[in-house]
Amino acid sequence: MTTTQQHQDEAAPAGATPEQLGIGMRFSLHPHCDDFVEAILGALQEVRDAGLTEGLVTETDVVSTYVGASTAPAEQRLGRYLTAVLAASAQRTPTGHVVAHVLLSRGCPGEIACDPAVVGLPTPAPVEVPAAGVRAVAQWSLYPLLDAGSPAGGGSHMQLIVDAVERAEARGVASRPAHYATRLDGDLADVVSTAVDAWAAVGREVPHVVTHLTISVGSPALR
């Protein structure tokens, strides 16, 4: 082990790995055009060819694509991949209108093996995602799944949500609250980063956290 390697290991946040925590997402792409198959499969392939699936495991089924993070920096890999694939799909869509629905999950690996006794929750750095040059509008919901036995089990899930929305507002990305969701508005990369960072931040206190995002690009209602 080199000195540099040793230093990195010591500096790394203690605790569970991305795989042990089940950090990943499930997303679907909805190109609003007749030739939607190409605008979905072409975008998935393009982003794979660009190397953005490094450190990720992907699996596409008839409804959506699962993306699991196998190595750190898990959140950044997911944020960059998602931004790139949605931008690529929009470029391939003649009408320009594509919507992605995204579920980000952490703390519940496997189907139902949710372990409230997990210790050493990581403290990931904020993600850095290059600007996409594409405006996006999203509706975003965050779900801290508290249990009596979890580290933050004595708390209130709403307080965790309110704090996260206030941090998103301070970034200038979150704006109007709507029923059941908060509106995010900005460059696609900022919209994705805001949701990913909020989800990761709550994950420092609660093991199982899920966030859902409906991200719209190129809607005629916004032109």
Interaction residues for a copy of itself, span 59-78 (CB under 8 A): 61-64, 66, 68
Q: Which of 53, 91, 114, 175 binds a copy of itself (CB under 8 A)?
A: 114
Stretch that binds a copy of itself, among 75-83, 120-128, 171-179, 188-196 (CB under 8 A): 171-179
Asked if 37 interacts with a copy of itself (CB under 8 A), we say: yes
Q: Using an 8 Å Cβ cutoff, are 98 and 132 in contact?
A: no
> Exactly one of 9, 10, 49, 111 binds a copy of itself (CB under 8 A); which one?
111
Continuous H helices in the chain: 3-11, 18-21, 36-49, 74-91, 157-170, 188-202
Q: With beta carbons less than 8 A apart as the criterion, state whether 184 and 195 touch.
A: yes
Tell me which of 6, 71, 156, 172 binds a copy of itself, using CB under 8 A. Answer: 156
Q: What are phi and psi of 32, to 5 degrees?
A: -90, 75
Tokens standing for residue 210: 């899920």
Q: For residue 166, state whether it binds a copy of itself (rule: CB under 8 A).
A: no
Cα(191)–Cα(89) distance, rounded to whole angstroms? 17
SS3 labels along 166-179 = HHHHHCCCEEEEEC
Q: Which stretch binds a copy of itself (CB under 8 A): 9-17, 76-84, 133-141, 197-205?
A: 133-141
Distances (CA, A) of 209 to 53, 65, 89, 116: 23, 19, 28, 12
- The CB-of-77 to a copy of itself minimum distance in angstroms stands at 16
Closest CA to 87 of 158, 27, 39, 35: 39
- Does residue 32 touch a copy of itself according to CB under 8 A? yes
Q: By CB under 8 A, name the binding residues for a copy of itself.
A: 22, 24-26, 28, 30-34, 36-37, 61-64, 66, 68, 94-95, 97, 99, 101, 103, 105, 108, 111-112, 114, 116, 137-139, 141, 143-149, 153-158, 161-162, 177-181, 183, 208, 210, 212, 214, 216, 219-222
